[in-house]
Amino acid sequence: MPETRVPRRRRFLVCEPRHFAVQYAINPWMRPDRPVDVPLAQAQWQALVDIYRAHGHTVETVEPVPGLPDMVFAANAAVVVGGRVFGSLFRAPERRPESLPYDTWFKSAGFDVYRPESVCEGEGDFVPAGRWLLAGTGFRTTPEAHREAQEFLGVPVIGLTLVDPYFYHLDTALFVLEDAADGTDGNIAYYPEAFSPGSREVLARLYPNAVIATREDAMAFGLNSVSDGRHVFISPGATALADQLAHHGYLPVPVDLSEFHKAGGGIKCCTQEIRS
């Protein structure tokens, strides 16, 4: 364990939860009969933005669109690697219109945007991890999208099968702690039981020193976290995981996004990273 981990400045894209609501159910967390406190959601979201900026990160925003209550979950809109944007094609018809405003934002910012032919949900299921791209499937993104992403991005894709509907996206079950550097493969934190047996074996081989989360911490959205290599922006409910991270030399930064848990999202879901 290094004495001092060094953070890397990040560039994030977010979307204000002006129209956030739970109007339909497309995962086990969503209950339309449980109303969202929109002012509270806005306050929690703003706190996240303020904390990112206080830690030296750049935060940009895309304008929310009325009638798209899940547009706040910016991570699902694309995955950006080396300045290339691999867009989204949501499984749920209710979310498919979200792709256009994000594509428009990226194009106006000068990015090359690819519109996939297969169902895929951005960083929800694609997690850049240094030399390769970890890619989830089982509930949303399809294996065909994994092949499309590899062809467009030119990065080897490691397919991982999710088996627990509460962890319907890869970014609810795993996050990157540090990118590969100096010939190493970096490291991750994850919840093994969210994955098929074969996928668990793959992760154990790739990341023998990974931080292993309990189901309690995973259910508290502890793995829907964002790391800059030193600071880990994490759900305050994931206390055991935060303790583990501190033991490994990271600095947990608790950020309460509990209102977004009602839709099955958290810190990472609200955060798209732009990798130039």
Contacts of 33 (CB under 8 A, 6+ apart): none
Residue 229 φ/ψ region, left for φ over 0, alpha for ψ in the -120 to 50 degree band, beta for the rest: left
169 is catalytic: yes
Active-site annotation holder among 169, 231, 261, 270: 169
269 is catalytic: yes
β-bridge mates for residue 272, sequence order:
13
The pair of three-digit structure tokens given for residue 91, joined into one six-digit string: 């499984």
**What's the rounded Cα separation, in Å, for the pair 168 and 28?**
9
Backbone dihedral angles phi then psi of residue 226, each to the nearest 5 degrees: -130, 130
Residue 159 φ/ψ region, left for φ over 0, alpha for ψ in the -120 to 50 degree band, beta for the rest: beta
Residue 266 φ/ψ region, left for φ over 0, alpha for ψ in the -120 to 50 degree band, beta for the rest: beta
Contact 161, 196 (CB under 8 A): yes
**What's the rounded Cα separation, in Å, for the pair 21 and 258?**
13
**What's the rounded Cα separation, in Å, for the pair 1 and 64?**
42
Contacts of 205 (CB under 8 A, 6+ apart): none
The pair of three-digit structure tokens given for residue 93, joined into one six-digit string: 């018809």
Active-site annotation holder among 57, 146, 261, 269: 269
Other CB atoms within a 10 A radius of the CB of residue 55 amount to 16
Q: Which residues are catalytic?
A: 169, 269
